Structure 1
Amino acid sequence: MPTFDQLVTRVRRELRGYTLDQASMTVLSADMLAADTSFTVDLDDVTEVSRGLVEIDDELILVKQYDAQTGVVTVMGGTVGRGAEDTTAATHVAGALVTSSPTFPRSVIKSAINDSIRGLYPNLVVFDTVDFPYVAAQTEYPLPADVKDVWTVVGRWVGPEKVSGAMSNWRFNAEAYAIDFPTGKSIQLWTGITPGQNVRVLYTREPSALSANSDDFATVAGYPERVADLVVWDTAKRLLPSLMSARLQQTSVESTERSQLVSTRDISNAVQTYAALYAERLQQERDRMYQENPTFQTFQGS
């Protein structure tokens, strides 16, 4: 299953395939602490480091200058140059890539990925369940705080069949009394089953954002692994328009020449392509969501 780090790689692969980005890169030749105001890179590639923004792992750093004899790179403004552009100053180990003027920094891609994950809701919901025993004298039962809506409710029948039947007469209370229900969410059951038998509530919730590089998409976000391509395409769609404004700023020979090869119309076409791919796959997933998790009406066959 894809991790957060693997999703970033997939998005970058999509974007680089379009822009033919050939970033200037080198590697750290020594570990770097979060408070360091200089770092050392491979002498063979030190000239690849440019004044301005460089990226190491998820951190953006402002570079003042480098020493071609020692490979030492000085950070602009001391610690002020660490954690630029709302990134966080961090420790980096020897061998980490140092990328000059990244077109799409990892921190930006990560933020866009989480925006895409959150944007899937409510078109695609995350399903979860809660179980509790039915009590004859009790009508209302607590639900977790992350419940957005209740999808289906089933109750276990008595007997060797091990069957759970749909309970049709229930009401989701999103504003339950906090004194009785601390989460403020509850369900009222107006159709009973044999006391002591299990009730299972299938409910919907919003997806969770990814944080650590090792976060598994399906486990943390809550969506099936197959939904990852939707996140990748939507992230690419979100990030590509930033190239349009970049091409309006013709401050170098390179940008002037590239603007003739890749116009804003080309970028717009790419955005529309990703939007079309996204819309088609989203509809497929919505159809599948209802097929795999039928509502009570479908469950009953009506």
Structure 2
Amino acid sequence: MLVSELADVCEETLYSLAETRAKMTSLSEPADTASVNLRVSDGQLVDRGFVEIGYELIQVSKVDRNSGRLTVLPRGRGARGTTPAVHLLGDTVTVNPAFPRSGIVREINDAVRSLYPTLFRTQRIAGISLVEPPDVTPLPEWMTGVADVRAVTPDGREHPVNRYRLRDAPGGGLLLEILECIPREATLTLTGIGHFAVPLRPEDDLTTVGGVLDEWTDIVRLRVCSVLAASMDFARLRTDSIEAGGRADRIQPVSASQVSKSWMQYYQLRKQEARNQLLNSLNGRARFTY
């Protein structure tokens, strides 16, 4: 799943809780990164404040409702830490979004970062050569441990390596030191464990780039929605069964903090369940340095 796709799911979940949704229109003219006059197809929908186009927040100081012309506040492009971008004709313009997509992506990164060390990235790497002497090899910067090491001979046969240790490298990172004899011509194949790759961009894949397994995306979503729901002060919310993925029957209004708390509790439960499954899949072979 792409980060942008997960952001879509989180956005829909959060807006399903609120009794109102942000107004939207579209650009009727393209805009470059320096444009301070924007034009939208329906100026009646736009108010002074913030609009979001793509992942950029723009602060608007003046609105001509008849022409749809928006005047951007000085230094109003790339507001609230976002990056000015090129926008195309027809791009969606969201008016004063309660949950800016740029903020959702930022929370996705925070949620991925928070998975570690309860959960951790695993990756199989082949074709590693040993530096001799001694029989050591530097590990990638993201690695904090190893789950499995195998020596692979030129004919393709794999031999488990049981005696090895991890030690700090002089310039930072870790070194893998082999403590048993293996053929000189052999290379190593190992399963490394460690930090997730953050920050992630909207176009990045959570699994191939970030190292987050597909079955963990619901854990990330729970944390994102919990944090963002708690940050908003809705007068009325309605609960939605996030873990079941379907809409629950309408019940008595509850506060944002109550919804956020229940999601956070389920997040902690799911994260621990995922950790147990992960450790079982490694058969107790993981060696950590944290």
Classify the TM-score, shorter chain: 0.7 to 0.9
The answer (yes or no) to whether the contact 1:136–1:195 under 8 Å persists in 2 is no
Structure 2 residue matching 1:220: 3-state secondary structure: coil
The answer for the alignment partner of 2:46 in structure 1 is 49
Percent identity over paired residues: 27
The answer for the alignment partner of 2:56 in structure 1 is 59
1:185 to 163, 174, 182: 174
1:83-232 aligned at under 5 Å gives the runs 83-130=78-125, 131-133=127-129, 138-156=134-152, 162-165=157-160, 167-174=161-168, 176-178=169-171, 184-232=173-221
Q: 1:114 & 1:50 partners in 2: Cα distance?
A: 30
Alignment deviations for residues 8-40 of structure 1 (CA, whole Å, 9 cap, x no partner): 101111111111332121111110111111111
Q: In structure 1, list runs of 5 or more residues that go unmatched.
A: 248-258, 298-302
Alignment deviations for residues 126-163 of structure 1 (CA, whole Å, 9 cap, x no partner): 11234435688643232222221222323347999x34
Work out the number of aligned pairs and report it: 272
Structure 2 residue matching 1:171: 3-state secondary structure: strand
Alignment deviations for residues 53-92 of structure 1 (CA, whole Å, 9 cap, x no partner): 1111111111122223322111123xx1211111122211
Which protein has the larger Cα radius of gyration, Structure 1 or Structure 2?
A: 1
The answer for the alignment partner of 1:266 in structure 2 is 255
AA aligned to 2:124 is: T
The answer for the alignment partner of 1:251 in structure 2 is none
Q: 1:136 & 1:97 partners in 2: Cα distance?
A: 58
Q: 1:60 & 1:117 partners in 2: Cα distance?
A: 23
Q: 1:103 & 1:280 partners in 2: Cα distance?
A: 28
AA aligned to 1:132 is: I
RMSD: 2.6
AA aligned to 1:62 is: Q
TM-score, reference length from structure 2: 0.84
Structure 2 residue matching 1:81: 3-state secondary structure: coil
AA aligned to 1:199 is: L
Question: 1:21–1:93: structure 2 CA closer, same or farther, 3 Å change rule?
Answer: same
- Which consecutive segments of 4 or more residues in structure 1 shift more than 4 A? 133-137, 156-160, 262-265
Alignment deviations for residues 197-236 of structure 1 (CA, whole Å, 9 cap, x no partner): 3332322121112543321111111121121111111111
Question: 1:101–1:192: structure 2 CA closer, same or farther, 3 Å change rule?
Answer: same
Question: 1:206–1:184: structure 2 CA closer, same or farther, 3 Å change rule?
Answer: closer
The answer (yes or no) to whether the contact 1:135–1:195 under 8 Å persists in 2 is no
The answer (yes or no) to whether the contact 1:63–1:74 under 8 Å persists in 2 is yes
1:276 to 248, 265, 274: 265
Q: In structure 2, list runs of 5 or more residues that go unmatched.
A: 239-252
Question: 1:192–1:25: structure 2 CA closer, same or farther, 3 Å change rule?
Answer: same
The answer (yes or no) to whether the contact 1:156–1:193 under 8 Å persists in 2 is no
Alignment deviations for residues 231-285 of structure 1 (CA, whole Å, 9 cap, x no partner): 11111111111114xx6xxxxxxxxxxx3x3499621221122112212221221
